[in-house]
Amino acid sequence: EPPGDPSQQEAKQREAEIRNTILAQVLDQAARARLSNLALVKPDKAKAVENYLIQMARFGQLAGKVS
């Protein structure tokens, strides 16, 4: 399949939407804003934090929203 395959792009878009939904559920607005600011300066670090938060949310390790 070519790298610009539309189905591959749709899958990436769906994954991004799922990630954003999970992060919106586990982060309060201020924390989400700080993570967005971090993503502008250090995208790799922001992605690592997002992955960590999503993993914790999936395993039920978060009690309430993260501030």
Whole-structure pTM over 0.85, yes or no?
no
Tokens of 33: 């804003």
Q: Is residue 66 part of a domain?
A: no
Looking at the structure of the chain, the number of domains it has is 1
Q: Is residue 50 part of a domain?
A: yes
Q: Is residue 22 part of a domain?
A: yes
pLDDT in tens, 8-64: 889 999 999 999 999 999 999 999 999 999 999 999 999 999 999 999 999 999 888
Cα–Cα separations (whole angstroms), residue 32 to 3, 47, 53? 31, 13, 12
Q: Is residue 18 part of a domain?
A: yes
pLDDT in tens, 22-38: 999 999 999 999 999 99
pLDDT for the residue 1: 47
Q: Is residue 39 part of a domain?
A: yes
| CATH number assigned to the domain comprising residue 30 | 1.10.8.140
pLDDT for the residue 3: 59
Q: Is residue 2 part of a domain?
A: no
Residue range of the domain that includes 25: 9-59
At a CB cut-off of 8 Å and minimum separation 6, what does 66 contact?
26, 27, 28, 31, 53
